[in-house]
Amino acid sequence: DKDIVFTGDDGGATITALTLDMSNGGRANFGNDIGLNDNRGIRFGAGDDLTIFHDGSDSYIRDSGTGLLFIRGSSGVRIQGANGEAMVHAVENGAVELYNDNSKKLETTSTGISVTGTGTFTTADNSNTLTLISTDADANAGPRLAFQRQSGSPADDDVLGQIYFTGKDSGGNNTDYATIRSEIMQESDGSEDGQLEFDILKAGTQRSVLKLDRVEVCINEDSQDIDFRVESNDNANMFKVDAGNN
């Protein structure tokens, strides 16, 4: 049970470059770093299943075996840039965090995910771009979509949220053809009032066609030539207000 030791002379000082532990559980201990040239790597496994190398421009950890590649940390795993900038943080029994330019944008939670910033969902066909699913079996509402404006100083006429229906016009411009908007009309605790408004684009200008307010339901508030018509089973004009005739 003797070790094999490789020593050398470094400016008059004896250094140990490599020690081979010759015991049954022995290993090779280098006195300093292991240096490999470009496109030369370290290979693991009888079939060179795992390779770590640098090609002169990029660095690679390549798994070509039949199994999976595991990266394990005692309490978590972090992927960082060369200067320590956060990219991915994964905590054991906790969250997985994704970063953009060192700023956290997405985090998994015990109930789902938390996103900071905006999101864009793109599809190349006519399938559902976003689907909300609830598997709850009780009689309560679900799924639910909540718009929350968490203002520290809410005030009358604050817009709570707005849905835009946007498409291109003949000039290739993005155009809001219709919107649904909700506003605070009275924010005093215990006396809160709200408003919901439906607007459409008419002759290039947004016009209010339906407003559900605290004191009235108003149709065609912008006084446009937009008729109000109710059909019955066999009468297309059972009730009609001709907006073009005063």
Cβ–Cβ contacts within 10 Å for residue 222, how many? 14
Mean pLDDT across the stretch 18-45? 89
Q: What is the pLDDT of residue 24?
A: 85
Average pLDDT over residues 63-81: 91
Split at pLDDT 50, 70, 90, the class of 67 is confident
The pLDDT of residue 46: 87
Residue 155's pLDDT is: 95
In this prediction the pTM is 0.73
Q: Report helix, strand or coil for 106.
A: strand
The per-residue pLDDT for 1 is 67
Looking at the chain, the whole-number percentage of residues with pLDDT higher than 70 is 100
Output the CA angle 237-243-246, nearest 5 degrees.
Answer: 115
- Residue 149, pLDDT > 80, answer yes
